[in-house]
Amino acid sequence: MLMFDNIFVARFNATLMLESLRGKRMMFVGDSLNRGQYVSMVCLLHRILPPNAKSLESSIDQSLTVFRAKDYNATIEFNWAPFLLESNSDNAIVHRVDDRMVKKGSINKHGKNWKGVDVLVFNTYLWWMTGRKMKFLKGKGSFKDEKKDIEELTTEDAYRVAMKSMLKWVRKNMDRNKTRVFFTSMSPLHIKSQEWGGEPGGNCYNETTLIEDPNYWGSENKNIMQVIAEEFGKSKYPITFLNITQLSSYRKDAHTSIYKKQWSPLTPEQLANPISYADCVHWCLPGLQDTWNELLFTKLFYPS
């Protein structure tokens, strides 16, 4: 076992995890950061299974990925839903939309995939951080309509709508005696090295040590944390909060940086300046997200 700031964290036990999931479904719901945590979980589990006792399949649009531990009759799944609500970014393959838009009252669009799940792990944060007001599509209109009935909300108000919708859906559709519901907090960025005393214009590129200042807090939106605290505090369904934000904030060294899949060829200018294309959002695996799953494992088996 490990101790972080007097918090007990159990070492991950893949056999115990699979036994607890025997005959059950576990699902991660959210964006690419939650997909990273999902991939971490699959990696932690699959290594103890023989080749013919496991499989990994994705839907054609990659919105749903399912890992099966056949001897355990268990599945660990990922559902792409970056806003939880229906949005114009719901295509898991082509989702780089500048003018992001969410539909009010639309959580059932993704929620149909969550029914019957025994362990549900939500996240949503990064996609709300556009730096401008969030657009909500009202009524029965389509994102493709030329004329749309739009309401604009501040980031905090928009996020609150999503939290209320998620909590209402969970209360109506989940059996508290059967399903454990988790919510993973904000995954921090390391895109401005000045925040931790680095050189101007830098980011996580070439960072090899963690931040040692225990009081460090990056640019993450504390108002969003307040929204979560307020709305979860009202919830009649028990939601287990996985607070990964501050422990991850110290890990400026843990991002994929330039070592990631590039979806288009890099330009000579980019190649000459690695800082310009370093990914300081996503995380290396094996790595930090394995720690997130150790925290999830601890909360699952040692809830008190």
Which residues in 218-239 are b (16+ Cβ under 10 Å) and which e?
bebeeebeebbeebbeebebeb
Report yes or no: 55 and 67 within 8 Å, Cβ to Cβ: yes
State both tokens at 158. 């928009």
∠ CA 18-23-27, rounded to 5°:
70
Phi (first) and psi of residue 248, to 5 degrees:
-80, -25
- Beta-bridged to residue 27, according to DSSP, are 77, 120
User: Burial, 201: exposed, middle or buried (Cβ in 10 Å; 0-12, 13-18, 19+)?
Assistant: exposed
Single out the residue of 84, 89, 143, 72 nearest to residue 112, CA to CA: 84
User: Burial, 97: exposed, middle or buried (Cβ in 10 Å; 0-12, 13-18, 19+)?
Assistant: middle
State both tokens at 64. 């749903």
Q: Within 10 A of 188 (CB to CB), how many other CB atoms are there? A: 25
- Beta-bridged to residue 152, according to DSSP, are 135
Q: Is 32 labeled as catalytic in the residue annotation?
A: yes
Active-site pick, 248, 255, 279, 304: 279
Report yes or no: 44 and 289 within 8 Å, Cβ to Cβ: no
Phi (first) and psi of residue 89, to 5 degrees:
-120, 25
Which residues in 119-155 are b (16+ Cβ under 10 Å) and which e?
bbbbbbbbbbeeeeebbbbeeeeebeeeeeeeeebeb
Q: Is 106 labeled as catalytic in the residue annotation?
A: no
Active-site pick, 20, 32, 235, 276: 32
Catalytic center residues: 32, 279, 282
